[in-house]
């Protein structure tokens, strides 16, 4: 994905208020992110383990999501990430996104299981070790796995904004 600035990221949030988007923590090391190898940039709130964020460019639009990880105080389960289909040793968390607009204000949300460290892109490309047995034994190319992950992310985003 193309590198994003803090301003672009803050402006891209689809499911939180403008005030929240202004205050939430954006990584300080944006320039050092491996953008060429990222399908989305995801990060945890360093002050609050129950909050996570991700930003992606889908259909030519930069869109960002505010997420909650309700179970992150317990142990992470060794299960499969719904985005990249990896089961990393570091765990997968249920991440819940309040829906965009009026539906979100009424308390509606959608949840999905995502790699707890939000490193799907790096696992897919073999740039981060997910641990023994973490990857499906598939013979498809990395490009196809990336395409599938982006499609999964787009489907989740469509549920949040739909």
Query: Is 108 in contact with 97 (CB distance < 8 Å)?
Result: no
Judged by CB under 5 A, which stretch of 47-55, 93-101, 107-115, 150-158 contacts Zn ion? 107-115
Question: 52, 65, 83, 94: which one contacts Zn ion (CB under 5 A)?
Answer: 83
Smallest distance from the beta carbon of 18 to Zn ion, in angstroms?
A: 29
Judged by CB under 5 A, which stretch of 31-39, 61-69, 81-89, 140-148 contacts Zn ion? 81-89
Distance from C-alpha of 85 to C-alpha of 157, rounded to nearest angstrom: 17
Here the contacts of 21-30 (C-beta below 8 Å, separation 24 or greater) are 21/64, 21/66, 24/51, 24/53, 24/66, 26/53, 30/3, 30/4, 30/5, 30/6
Looking at beta carbons only, is 135 or 159 nearer to Zn ion? 135
| 118 part of the interface to Zn ion, by CB under 5 A | no
| 94 part of the interface to Zn ion, by CB under 5 A | no
| 120 part of the interface to Zn ion, by CB under 5 A | yes
What's the token pair of residue 156?
């989740």
Task: By CB under 5 A, name the binding residues for Zn ion.
Answer: 81, 83-84, 86, 115, 120
């Amino acid at each position: 994905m193309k590198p994003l600035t803090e301003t672009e990221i803050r402006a891209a949030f689809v499911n939180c208020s403008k005030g929240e988007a202004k205050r939430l923590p954006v990584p300080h090391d944006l320039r050092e992110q491996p953008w060429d190898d990222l399908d989305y940039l995801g990060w945890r709130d360093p002050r609050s383990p129950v909050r996570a964020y991700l930003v992606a460019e889908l259909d030519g639009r930069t869109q960002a999501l505010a997420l909650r990880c309700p179970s992150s105080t317990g142990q992470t389960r060794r299960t499969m990430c719904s985005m990249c289909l990896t089961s990393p040793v570091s765990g997968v968390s249920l991440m819940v996104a309040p829906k965009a607009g009026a539906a979100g204000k009424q308390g509606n949300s959608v949840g999905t299981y995502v790699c707890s460290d939000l490193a799907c892109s790096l696992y897919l490309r073999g740039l981060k070790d997910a641990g023994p047995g973490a990857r499906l034994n598939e013979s498809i190319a990395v490009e196809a796995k990336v395409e599938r992950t982006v499609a999964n992310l787009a489907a989740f985003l469509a549920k949040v904004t739909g």
